[in-house]
Amino acid sequence: MNDAPLPHAEMLAAIPRMRRYARVLTGDSARADDLVQEALARAWEKRRLWRPGTDLRAWLFTILHNVFVNQRASARREASNVSLDAETEGGSGAWQVPVPSTQFARVELAELLQQVGRLPSEQREVLLLAAVEEMKYEEIAAALSVPVGTVMSRLSRAREKLRRMADERPATLKRVK
């Protein structure tokens, strides 16, 4: 049994990243906060399972992802005909990001975030962990409980889909360089 305490400073430092990832998973900031809180509570309950010297952030992301998957499976069992993404299907604020820039840049960013939102959840999760959280393939694989090859494949497919979506934009919306 591990009696070493969790490093509180590292745990606190991981919370903003966990919230960002949880927002992508849930599409809603309130649900994301609840998810992070549940994941941190679970981490605290299972703190004896964490091994000092290992990557605490990857361990926390694994717990966060597993809590989300368990909640989603539970919700599907309870109401299989209700979409968990109903709040974001109409384009609500799940992808709102403040951008202090030109109107064109805001439109481009909004379009990119809509395109990311249209990716399958498995690809969106890997893309976020790789591009935004700067996690290594091995860390992503551990967090999502999938092989490294699956991470690489999902990331490649996500990037390719985003390229195709960007190429399909109407010519009037493409920036002239």
pLDDT at position 101? 53
**Contact between residue 75 and residue 84 where contact means Cβ atoms under 8 Å apart:** yes
Is 1.10.10.10 the CATH classification of the domain at 1-91? Answer: no
What are the domain boundaries of the chain? 1-91, 97-171
Region 35-63: what's the mean pLDDT?
Answer: 87
Domain 97-171, CATH 3.30.465.10 — does that match? no
Tell me how far apart the alpha carbons of residues 32 and 42 are, in angstroms, rounded to a whole number.
Answer: 15
pLDDT over 70 for what percent of the chain?
73
Ordered alpha helix ranges (H), the chain: 8-26, 29-45, 56-78, 86-89, 103-118, 121-127, 137-144, 148-167
Over residues 82-106, mean pLDDT: 50
Residues 110-148: pLDDT tens digits? 677 777 878 888 888 898 888 888 888 998 998 888 999
